[in-house]
Amino acid sequence: MLLTLALVVGLAAAYAATQESSYTARSVVLLKPVPGSPLSPEVATTSGTQNTIAMQTEARTVTTPAVAALASEDAGRLLRDEDGELAVRVLDATQTLEIAYTSDTPENARSGAQAFADSFLAYRGTAATELQESRIEGLESQAESAQQSLRDAADGVGGFAQQQVQLFTDRLAQLNANLSAEQVVSTDPGTVLNPAEEPTAPDGVPSWLLLALAAVVGAVLAVLAALLREWRQDVVRSEEDFSVSGLPVFASIPRVRHKHDEEGLAHVREAFRQLRAGVVANCARPHVLVVSGVGKNPQSLVVPNLGISLADAGYSVLVVDADAYAEGLHTALGVEGRPGLSDILGRNELFHDAVRSVHGIDVLPIGHDPAGIRDLQGGPALRELVDRVRSDYDYVIFNAAPSGTADSDAAMSAAESVLLVVVDGQTTRAQIEAALDRQRHLGIVAAGLVNVRRDAGMALALPPTEAPVDEPTPATHANA
């Protein structure tokens, strides 16, 4: 989960670091109908559709090279292509345009937007004035020509001359009316409603907000990934699984915060009483039982607690440490780790010299040569030892290496059944199936499962009235 969160936040930080800051300033201009422009007086008084088309054309006019040249001259630098980006849009089907200019600094953005607004209005005004002057000049020329024609007709004689005088008189009157109308047409291009102002913040999402959003998204993705992982793993759960792959779950060992957590230890003792009931019901005494974990599990503390619980019920118990991978039962039980099993199998010690008694159980630790036991227990010596001590104890419990190893196979082969230890929320059903399949091929019987919390922090669950043992007593069921 933390890796997913760190990855998302890191990508967001890298993206924010590589982005160059840009600023956008906006200016709003109100256009007035002027002669010669798309928004002419004639168009402004027609339908809304024609007016909308005219305003879109005006917006495109702002982006023409002619207006850009005027804006660059006004701003004192080359705008648009090299300096920034220009965007123009019509505001809500009105006769107003929003001119937005984006640049690398707030000052350049403001000056660019204002330069385009002023230059566009100046361009419209100049074009309208030139067109009006051209029209007035043409009308004046036509009026002079009509005046001359009228004088020539007035000098003529006859009825035909009178008709020409009337015709040219009407023509001159119409031209004068047109000239008067043209002279009063406004060439005001419009006004800047909202001058451009310097932007106070860069464009886009602020870096702090981007990182905050990335953290939220990363947390959500991490949770989803964890849920997906748990779902795909199909792990064993104590609150849901009372049997797995056909095997009963005898007990679920709860969490213990520390060795002085009396409430937690009381729950642990109760869980081992449940485990004891499952073992007694399924393993007729005398019985040789191997306890082996599926994966890296704390079976080293399951074994002594189970042994103590059986002894509390009046059963005679021998606990044998045969796990060369772990720290050893002798550390948990507070006894010497040597001599032990490796010394007996190597014929260097006798059984009664290696076994110790503590907390009501007999303990056979790993011995002087934990590594050497890996080969010794694969031979006949381990079976001979089991045959020799089996009748002297109700239960002989082996603390074996993790399931699937050659060491655990050897210990299981010398026993009558196996108790598998799984970790709540961590051990998968696939792992259990693989362990059971291997045991079936070896002819090993699985008695059941015990589920241990991943954060159990399990301690030796001794009765609260029992005092610590400083010196181990002699073995109570030693068989010379």
Q: Which tens digits make up the pLDDT trace of 386-417?
A: 998 999 999 999 998 888 888 888 889 889 99
Which strand (E) or helix (H) includes residue 453? strand 446-453
Query: CA angle 401-325-248, nearest 5°?
Result: 30
- Nearest in space to 427 (alpha carbons), one of 228, 221, 237, 288: 237
Strand order in the sheet with 395-399: 243-244, 247-253, 446-453, 417-424, 287-293, 395-399, 317-321, 361-364, 356-358
Neighbours of 206 (CB within 10 A): 11
Give the range among 40-54, 251-265, 296-310, 362-376 with minimum mean pLDDT.
251-265
CB distance 347 to 477 below 8 Å: no
At 479, is the pLDDT very low, low, confident or very high (cuts 50, 70, 90)?
Answer: very low
Query: CA angle 396-476-363, nearest 5°?
Result: 45
pLDDT in tens, 9-55: 677 566 655 656 789 999 999 999 998 889 888 887 777 788 889 99
422, pLDDT greater than 80? yes
Amino acid 471: pLDDT:
44
428, pLDDT greater than 50? yes
Amino acid 478: pLDDT:
41
Amino acid 164: pLDDT:
83
Instruction: Write out the two tokens for 366.
Output: 């790993």
Q: Which one is predicted more confidently, 211 or 281?
A: 281
pLDDT in tens, 111-169: 999 999 999 999 999 999 999 999 899 999 998 998 888 888 887 755 567 888 888 88
pLDDT in tens, 59-103: 999 999 999 999 999 988 888 666 789 999 999 878 999 999 999
The CA distance from 448 to 269, in Å, is 19
At 367, is the pLDDT very low, low, confident or very high (cuts 50, 70, 90)?
Answer: confident
DSSP secondary structure letter of residue 86 = E
Amino acid 469: pLDDT:
47
Amino acid 64: pLDDT:
93
Amino acid 212: pLDDT:
77
Give the range among 134-138, 212-216, 426-430 with minimum mean pLDDT.
212-216
Amino acid 318: pLDDT:
95
At 461, is the pLDDT very low, low, confident or very high (cuts 50, 70, 90)?
Answer: low
Q: Which one is predicted more confidently, 287 or 262?
A: 287
At 206, is the pLDDT very low, low, confident or very high (cuts 50, 70, 90)?
Answer: low
Query: Rounded to two decimals, what is the model's pTM?
Result: 0.53
The residue whose two tokens read 């010669």 is 36
Which residues have C-beta within 8 Å of that of residue 423, sequence separation ≥ 6? 236, 295, 297, 298, 451, 452, 453, 454
The CA distance from 236 to 441, in Å, is 24
Neighbours of 135 (CB within 10 A): 17
Dihedral sign computed on CA atoms, order 380, 382, 388, 391: negative
Give the range among 93-107, 152-166, 282-296, 363-377 with minimum mean pLDDT.
152-166
Mean pLDDT of the chain: 83
- The string of DSSP codes covering 191-253 is EEEE-----SS-SSS-HHHHHHHHHHHHHHHHHHHHHHHHHHHTB--TTT-SEETTEEEEEEE
What average pLDDT does range 464-474 have in this prediction?
A: 49
Does residue 286 have a cis peptide bond before it, meaning omega lies within 30 degrees of 0? yes
CB distance 320 to 396 below 8 Å: yes
CA torsion angle 203 209 213 215 (round to 10): 130
The CA distance from 160 to 234, in Å, is 114
264, pLDDT greater than 80? no
